[in-house]
Amino acid sequence: MATLLDALDAAVNHHMAGRADAAEPLYRRILGTDPAQPDALHLLGVLHAQRGSPVQAVTLIGRSARVRPAAAQPWAHLGAALRAAGRPDDAEAALRRALALQPASADALEALGALLHDRAGYAPARLWLARALAVRPGHAETLLNLGTVLRDLRRFAEAETCFDAVLARQPSHGAAHLARAVGRLVRGDLRAGWEGFEHRWRRFTTPPWAGEPLNGATILLHMEQGFGDAIQFARYAPLVARAGGRVVVETHEALHRLFASLGPSVELWPRGSEPPPHDRHCPLMSLPRAFGTDLERIPASVPYLAPEPADVVRWQGRLDSGREGEFRVGLVWAGNPRHRNDRNRSLPVEALRPLLAVPGVRFLSLQTGDARAALARLPGDGVEDPIDGVRDFADTAALLANLDLLIAVDTSAAHLAGAMGLPVWLLLPFVPDWRWLLDRSDSPWYPSLRLFRQPRPGDWATVLGTVAAVLKAQAAAAQARLKARPKAQRTHGPAGGTP
């Protein structure tokens, strides 16, 4: 027994000192002798959670909680691990059990606040996080979480106070810099926001570029986040070429043909291969800072991306139904489920039903991923699904070029249509991504976008009801214009204007 206790003490000391590689074998040695040792199960699970392995953490901490069900801390950590593992209902049950056992458990209070924030429960999240902060004043992660909730409640001054408090103690705290930057960007204070936005991951050792003349140097512009981000900020690549250098843009395979339309001043480098020799580098999302972009100087000339003409013709042939002057509308209702805010930005396919009741519209799904299968839950065959013919974003662009309108949640398809100058109606949650700003129905990044915002968290019904009413008027106007034209001119002219 003394040996196991000594081993546990040594493991805990290593763990607390940040020596996880030394702590883990000791925890495992203890469990090899006593598989139900609750502290070793709990703390080895915590170690897995800290390493970003929530499923293993849930298994280990769950075993500890079953062995010692009256201990609050394992339930608190189990709840946090369940949240990270994408099991929010189980997480909430575990956290509330922890708080029933120990109402002042700061870990449980903070995790419950963060969980409610995930679910767009901003007001209750603030209350739980404030309680956690009262238990442990000055705790950096609690301050960060509370500041983020206050930011999403649009209590920006209070949010900045929280972020500033974190940075006063830990000046290099990257997450606090980013959280503060997002609050500034969403309010339109772009220049201040770009500075904080620089606290991101970098992959290259060459000097970063900050907008100075290149004088013939080679600069590598690289992706770092999603497809939508790459599409939005690829607009800067031809502008970089004007700084007098050779511009090489990293591209995912799915974007390669599309990005070829950026023009001859831009070379492409396939992501995943050895990068070409270069003198400077710049992440695509750092280009606005390099160009000193503010709301008045966003380079919003469109189109800056285009499909290949042969692809447009091919898709025109695929979509041609022989129906005279039909109004074609593309639909995207869900994003990548691994996105941190997907629960709030995506909507269930059933929410589209008010749109499908609009007469005179031919609906086509541009949905990809697991959410595509949800089409089967819609009645009848009111939405066509041509996505099997889409190989990459160049194909998506050609398909979009044959539509009159895209209605989408905040996904890469909306960015692509906007970059092509095509009409897009963007459906936004109450707390939008920073790039869509606040309380406006247009986007300075994409002139052809029209924004429809939730009036309150989770209220997609109002959004879709409004969109359906506007779509009904738009489709009726299109039909009226068709009837007013000579019969010989009544052919489908996709994307003929901005609805």
Backbone angles phi, psi at 161, to 5 degrees: -60, -40
Q: What is the CATH number of the domain that holds 27?
A: 1.25.40.10
Q: What is the CATH number of the domain that holds 166?
A: 1.25.40
pLDDT tens, position by position, 144-177: 999 999 999 999 999 999 999 999 999 999 999 9
Instruction: Indicate if 461 and 326 belong to the same structural domain.
Output: yes
Task: Report whether pLDDT(108) > 60.
Answer: yes
How large is the average pLDDT for residues 304-316? Answer: 96
pLDDT tens, position by position, 416-452: 999 999 999 999 999 999 999 999 999 999 999 999 9
Instruction: Indicate if 332 and 470 belong to the same structural domain.
Output: yes
Of 101, 132, 163, the one marking the end of a domain is 132
Q: Kindly report the pTM of this predicted structure.
A: 0.90
Q: Give dist(CA 396, CA 366) in Å, integer.
A: 8
424 sits in the region (left: phi over 0; alpha: psi -120 to 50; else beta) called beta
380 sits in the region (left: phi over 0; alpha: psi -120 to 50; else beta) called left
Domain count, the chain: 4
| Contact residues for 235 (Cβ-Cβ < 8 A; gap 6+) | 299, 304, 419
Instruction: Indicate if 180 and 222 belong to the same structural domain.
Output: no
Instruction: Indicate if 143 and 128 belong to the same structural domain.
Output: no
Of 297, 318, 352, the one marking the end of a domain is 297
Domain coverage including residue 273: 218-297
The pLDDT-based confidence of 495 (bands split at 50, 70, 90) is: very low
Calculate the dihedral angle through the C-alpha atoms of 398, 402, 404, 410, rounding to the nearest 10 degrees.
Answer: -30
In a domain, residue 182? The reply is yes
Cis peptide before 303 (omega within 30 of 0): yes
Instruction: Indicate if 181 and 152 belong to the same structural domain.
Output: yes
Q: Give dist(CA 358, CA 370) in Å, integer.
A: 26
Q: Is 37 helix (H, G, I), strand (E, B) or coil?
A: coil
Instruction: Indicate if 49 and 192 belong to the same structural domain.
Output: no
Nearest residue to 351 (alpha-carbon basis) of 302, 298, 407: 407
Instruction: Indicate if 121 and 3 belong to the same structural domain.
Output: yes
Nearest residue to 433 (alpha-carbon basis) of 300, 367, 335: 335
Q: What is the CATH number of the domain that holds 463?
A: 3.40.50.2000
